[in-house]
Structure 1
């Protein structure tokens, strides 16, 4: 059965849910803007610097299914609070740690907090807002908060890093996440009673968490170790073995962590593919453009932050457009339109980068890309929760966001490796430009997959077997 609202949600509740996404988005762009200074001060190499981003992705991707299912079984509000609290504590540790190792560890704990927070937030939206216009509007507000977080992160990242140092980009999250954790008990309805007879699938949780974490770790570290190195192949082999064990446990389990029948749900599977491609195309732009602005154009961190401001503001228009397109043209048309706009926009940026004309030559592509980003982001999360039972919204969100994190880690690792390899012969600017061009092709692949005919979905409901 589709999710149905358990209680009439308040505006304050939607504010807290939107703020959760604002914090996650804010953290992403703030960190990207501060990367060059973090690398210089803490002694990261060009390849190691991505671990400031990827430590978060590894932990986030590895713990998402656990976080999503735990929120279903143990309480969505409860895991919203746990996620925000972990986020606040890890941000404090990251800002005060003062060493490369401590920063990477703090980013990993942030990832665990995000893995608790993100699926709980999505599940609360899908459980408390009826499928259709009400849920579309809630997702539009949630997505607009994401765009606001990107805009604030780009601007604050430059201001804070230039005036107070890179540590400030982590400390700014502490009061925001802490306040949300405290206010959730008042503004988010209490979790209902746990269903009797439900068990927590501990073997499944351990196998998928370890397997997912090792898989993302191997993908991120592969370019530095070498894809055929024994360490890389060993991590990949162990990860696949653990994920195979997880599938076997889920097939035989009475109350599985991830009911395998959800994989027969067409809309959820398409969302999983699209979230991976989204992060490998749209999601990597901040990383490569930040390096291009600062290391090729010679921008200060403040000017780099300001350079991203138009894109994140235009993204809000793309979110508004998505809400109306979903009502008028449907989910598939909205998703395809967003991905095509993104591919076109990234392609225009690729063509403009080597002209030497500077930022203004990039702006047309940035505008088209940002409209597509807003449309795609909203549509793919609507797709992930469509037709899923209320008691399985958390695990469905965990599945889609796991694909998002694995796609982002794989895309960033491969594109960083490509950029660094090509830069040896063609120079830094050419390597970064080529990585941007490949990301445009990934967005185009997403549009082609969304256009392809799909078989009719098998019925999905909470009462079915695995």
Structure 2
């Protein structure tokens, strides 16, 4: 795992004087609000409908396995189309793909809110996931493309982080409140928000540069194989806890996904204009950021899953009361994320990532103390606070690391790779945690329930701790290879020589 060196992320050398304050005009602020609002909506949708799934299941008399797809269909569409969405943003234009994604998201939300069967709900969720796969990488690429690398971009990405992370956090509150009125409101709320973002983007997001007239090659073979591979990969991961990781169906689906990925690699190596330039995967900074992203969101979503079960199933809390229990995470993120980008310029990227993952590991360890009748204020709130502090620093640093040094023509694809890390990480970690917890459905067997929560939490702890430990180990390994810390290369990746870092995008 490659982690950016511990030098200022804005390009200043260590110990340099304070940077002048970043000043934006009204248009820059409004554009950032529109783009970040759409990113926050992606997160909000994912959480809100998850809260409403039991009510959807009851209304349409769905089986448990069918109801699971109300959540999984979104993950399938999102994870399956992310790489394609990212590359479309580069080839067709970020603004155009962003607007298309918002339109698709609106259509899926409207279909879900008016659904007359569980099947229509699931299809609506799949369409919403595809829309999010178009908006997420194009939104990040718009931010990166409109704010220059350094303090301005760091600050913009800090605000971007705050909006997305708060969407995940307050989604449980909003979802709980709307579900008590009707589950349909968890879909319907997205319609006016997406339409408002669509109108705002039309007015505020700069138009894409005019095409230079050169013939474009859209690599249909690569698009088909990678999208099919990602769909099957996510499907196999999502179904594995129910089917069994070693079942014939799971192994068959994952094997086909692997064959398609191999075919994709062959197609890309021969394509004159590949969907994914394979040399980009040699960018250790981007790959390392994507692995960290998988750990950040995978452990957080899994903790939210375990914590929700503990509070609702074991403690008998209502969805709304449980939602407010998670609210401190959002409040802490809202406090620290806008400032995180400025701090990166002083600390570099390695310290925030290490500190964020270390705070995660400690938070999850503290959660192991919960039991029968545990006090929320003494036993649960400390974990929430630590997660709320760690998330914005690690999340922002990962976004900066993934986009720094990437050629302008590939920013959308880099964003798609990073977002794929987030989504696949969430699916994989949650699947492993679910297996570790077991399939104990007898709510009267309280010791078994509590033991399952603890076992699942241990998986989350190990992943967070290993991710934190990987940061100094990567730094040490990089310095041994280069012979010294590359202090003069502010965006270099530990383990790369300066020439490699400078030529990452050309390779």
Q: How far 1:312 sits from its partner (Å)? A: 1.1
Which residue matches 1:231? 249
| 1:322 aligned onto 2:340 | yes
Instruction: Give deviations 1:378-403, integer Å, cap 9, x for gaps.
Output: 11111110100111000011111112
Greater fraction helix = 1
Contact 1:384 1:396 in 2 (8 A): yes
Trace 1:226-265 onto structure 2 (pairs within 5 A).
Answer: 226-265=244-283
Larger Rg: 2
Q: 1:285 to 1:44 in 2, by over 3 A?
A: farther
Which residue matches 2:455? 434
Instruction: Give deviations 1:281-313, integer Å, cap 9, x for gaps.
Output: 112222222222211111112212211111210
* Between 18-27 and 314-323, the greater mean CA deviation after superposition: 314-323
| 1:274 aligned onto 2:292 | yes
Which residue matches 1:447? 468
The alignment's TM-score, normalised by the length of structure 2, stands at 0.85
Contact 2:363 2:384 in 1 (8 A): yes
Which residue matches 2:301? 283
* Between 366-375 and 411-420, the greater mean CA deviation after superposition: 411-420
Q: Which of 70, 73, 78 pairs up with 1:60?
A: 78
Q: Which of 380, 389, 407 pairs up with 2:425?
A: 407
| 1:456 aligned onto 2:473 | no
Which residue matches 1:82? 100
Q: Which runs of 4+ in 1 moved over 6 A?
A: none
How many Å separate the matches in 1 of 2:416 and 2:302? 21
- SS of 1:404's partner is helix
Contact 1:154 1:308 in 2 (8 A): yes
Contact 1:65 1:398 in 2 (8 A): yes
- SS of 1:104's partner is helix
Contact 1:278 1:404 in 2 (8 A): yes
Contact 1:420 1:428 in 2 (8 A): no
Aligned length: 459
Q: 1:24 to 1:202 in 2, by over 3 A?
A: same
Which blocks of at least 5 consecutive residues in structure 1 are unaligned? Answer: none
Q: How far 1:323 sits from its partner (Å)? A: 2.4
How many Å separate the matches in 2 of 1:328 and 1:233? 47
How many Å separate the matches in 1 of 2:288 and 2:68? 28
Trace 1:292-311 onto structure 2 (pairs within 5 A).
Answer: 292-311=310-329
Q: 1:45 to 1:341 in 2, by over 3 A?
A: farther
- SS of 1:190's partner is coil
Contact 1:36 1:291 in 2 (8 A): no
Q: 1:165 to 1:463 in 2, by over 3 A?
A: closer
Q: How far 1:121 sits from its partner (Å)? A: 0.5
Which residue matches 1:365? 383
* Between 207-216 and 14-23, the greater mean CA deviation after superposition: 14-23
- SS of 1:452's partner is helix
How many Å separate the matches in 2 of 1:50 and 1:408? 15
